[in-house]
Amino acid sequence: MFSEDRIAKFIQSSFPSVWALELLCFLRENKSEKLDKDDLISRMRASELIVDQSVASLTAAGLVAQEKGRIFYSPATDESAKLVGQTVDFYAKSPDAVRRLIVASSVSASNISAFADSFRFRNE
């Protein structure tokens, strides 16, 4: 079993959005299926952009794979599979806490600086 800190770091590094986590949960729940993008859009009621971005980030994280246009749950390591299992359990028990972790990781110092800079007056 992993520590809460390890799970939190995994969530923040693996899921750029709640949609990505939801997609992973869906693929894990349907791990016997290999689905194409249109299936995912329809079954998750998501936009093409959301599915594309989520699949790309989950593929980069080594949690899903693609084969001949089909997308499926495929953690790269046993450790990743165990982390996913504990993340799914944590998400089921404390969805708001998981959402806060994801949102907090997407707000970086550069985003805050860019927002603050938008209020500066320029001498033109």
* Band of residue 109 on the pLDDT scale cut at 50, 70, 90: very low
For 78, residues 6+ apart whose C-beta sits below 8 A from its C-beta are none
Query: Residue 109: inside a domain, yes or no?
Result: no
Residue 73, by phi and psi: left (phi above 0), alpha (psi -120 to 50) or beta? Answer: beta
What's the total number of domains in the chain?
Answer: 1
Domain annotation covers residue 91: yes
- Its domain, for residue 24, covers 4-104
In this structure, is residue 110 part of a structural domain? no
- Kindly give, in sequence order, each residue whose CB lies less than 8 Å from that of residue 55, ignoring residues fewer than 6 positions away: 23, 37, 40, 64, 66, 71
Task: Classify residue 28: in a domain, yes or no.
Answer: yes
Residue 112 falls within a domain, yes or no?
Answer: no
Asked if residue 116 has pLDDT above 70, the reply is no
In a domain, 119, yes or no: no
Kindly report the CATH number assigned to the domain that includes residue 65. Answer: 1.10.10.10
Residue 26 lies in a domain: yes
Q: pTM, whole model, 2 decimals?
A: 0.83
Could you report the per-residue pLDDT of 32-79, keeping only the tens digit for each?
Answer: 999 999 999 999 999 999 999 999 999 999 999 999 999 999 999 999
The percent of residues above 90 in pLDDT, for the chain, comes to: 82
